[in-house]
Amino acid sequence: MFGLSAHQVAIPETGESFACKDKEALLAAMVKLGRKGIPVGCLNGGCGVCKVRVLRGEVQPTGPISRAHVSAEEEATRVTLACRATPTSDVALEILGKMKKSFLAQCGKPKAN
């Protein structure tokens, strides 16, 4: 790759991996590549659906994250929002954000067995 150096982002539980440039948020990189794995919400640190734990590697914050969704205690255990973190090395992530489908989202669709 030309320009900014890229880091590999791995999601061990799904086997997914994608590249993320310096200063680019983890979630933005995933969305841009059309990849899936991390739940996508507001992309601005407010809704909490992209909550992840950094299992390996280092990240830096790119902006504020909502304390309604990530407590200071959680943050101390390497929990953050993927929309507000950029990797400074190759990283591995555990998905914590719940794609908990609301009652409404389940409506009108076949029920899972």
Partner 1 sequence: MGVMRIGHISVKIMDMEAAINHYEKVLGMKTVHTDEAGNKYLKCWDEWDKYSLILQETDQAGLNHVAYKVEKESDLDELQQRIEAYGISTEMLPEGTMPFTGRLLKFNLPSGHEMRLFATKECVGTDVGSINPDPWPDDIRGSGVHWLDHCLLMCEMDPEKGVNKVEESTKFVMDVLEFKLAEQVLVGPEGNIQAATWLFRTSTPHDIAFVAGPRMGLHHFAFFLNGWSDVLKSADVMAKNKVKIDVPPTRHGITRGETIYFFDPSGNRNETFAGLGYLAQPDRPVVTWTEDQLWRGIFFHSGEESGSFTTAYT
Q: How far apart are CA 111 and CA 51, in angstroms?
A: 27
Given the rule CB under 8 A, which of 1-9, 14-22, 45-53, 87-95 is the region that contacts partner 1?
Answer: 45-53
Residue 51 engages partner 1 in binding (rule: CB under 8 A): no
DSSP 9-38: EEETTTTEEEEEETTS-HHHHHHHTT--SS
Smallest gap, in angstroms, from Cβ of residue 84 to partner 1? Answer: 10
Q: How do beta strands 91-95 and 6-11 pair? A: parallel
Query: Which residues from 20-39 bind partner 1, rule CB under 8 A?
Result: 39
Nearest approach, Cβ of 103 to partner 1 (angstroms)?
5
Residue with the two structure tokens 């948020």: 25
The contacts of residue 100 (CB under 8 Å, 6+ apart) are none
Please state the closest distance from residue 13 (CB atom) to partner 1, in A: 19
Residues 74-113 that bind partner 1 (CB under 8 A): 99-105, 107-108
- Where along the sequence are the contacts to partner 1 (CB under 8 A)? 39-47, 49, 63-69, 99-105, 107-108
